[in-house]
């Protein structure tokens, strides 16, 4: 049975766009929100707007300007080069402290105002850059916290949580949006569309996953 309404956190990247179309297949009505937090790859939001138009989904961008003032990372400070190699047990310099915590909190406020209980987000812990706020334990924790804080029964869906990047590409293909995900999204930390720069961690994960999927298809 297809549920009623869902709100999708849509950045314009591979994962969130895949989740947008997953939500369209699983909910009768879908709306989406994105966040401008001073990210160096801000044109991902333009990509998200275009994707939302294609998907016929209302899209709202919320400004979080304080985030880039109180954190020190390569995604909000262009003077810090994006790391192309990461070390085990050390958070990469692309990690934005508190980002998903804030995103989900603001998304929940918007959702409650619209009478929406279901939130859909693209976090995943199988192929990821070591971000602690992409883990399933974090999502389950904030789900409980939001329910308690707002006295409202949210359900946070993370369709990609246990999928690697090749499996994420497979889902896009199953949803008949492989070409859209491949050509219209911006995952690259250096703001280059589609296959991106090929050097940053996000591009490497994305492109290696696509190659694996296409080779095994």
pLDDT of residue 1: 46
Cα separation of 13 and 36, whole Å?
Answer: 14
| pLDDT value at 128 more than 80 | no
pLDDT of residue 129: 67
Question: pTM of this prediction?
Answer: 0.93
Cα dist from 180 to 18, 84, 162, 203, whole Å: 9, 26, 22, 17
Mean pLDDT for 22-32 is 97
What tens digit of pLDDT does each residue of 67-123 get? 777 778 777 778 788 876 666 667 887 788 889 999 999 999 999 999 999 999 999
| pLDDT value at 196 more than 50 | yes
Q: Does domain 3-216 match CATH 3.30.465.10?
A: no
pLDDT of residue 126: 86
DSSP structural state of residue 134? G
In the chain, domain spans: 3-216
What tens digit of pLDDT does each residue of 29-78 get? 999 999 998 887 789 999 999 999 999 999 999 998 877 777 787 777 78
What tens digit of pLDDT does each residue of 130-159 get? 789 999 999 999 999 999 999 999 999 999
- Of 66, 14, 61, nearest to 42 by C-alpha is 61
Position with higher pLDDT, 42 vs 2: 42
């Amino acid at each position: 049975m297809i549920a009623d309404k869902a709100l999708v956190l849509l950045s314009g990247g591979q994962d969130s766009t895949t989740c947008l179309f997953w939500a369209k297949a699983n909910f009768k009505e879908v709306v989406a929100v994105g966040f401008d937090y001073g990210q160096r790859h801000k044109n991902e939001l333009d990509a998200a707007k275009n994707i939302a138009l294609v998907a016929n989904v209302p899209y709202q961008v919320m400004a979080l300007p304080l985030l880039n003032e109180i954190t020190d990372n390569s995604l909000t400070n262009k003077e810090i080069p994006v790391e192309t190699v990461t070390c085990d047990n050390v958070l990469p310099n692309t990690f934005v402290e508190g980002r998903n915590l804030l995103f989900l909190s603001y998304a929940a406020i918007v959702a409650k105002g619209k009478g929406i209980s279901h939130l859909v987000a693209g976090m995943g812990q199988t192929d990821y850059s070591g971000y602690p706020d992409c883990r399933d334990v974090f999502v389950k924790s904030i789900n409980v916290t939001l329910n308690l804080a707002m006295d409202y029964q949210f359900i946070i869906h993370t369709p990609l949580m246990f999928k690697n990047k090749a499996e994420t590409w497979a889902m896009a293909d199953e949803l008949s949006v492989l070409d859209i995900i491949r050509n219209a999204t911006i995952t690259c930390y250096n703001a280059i569309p589609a296959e991106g720069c090929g050097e940053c961690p996000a591009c490497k994960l994305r492109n290696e996953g696509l190659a694996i999927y296409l080779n095994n298809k």
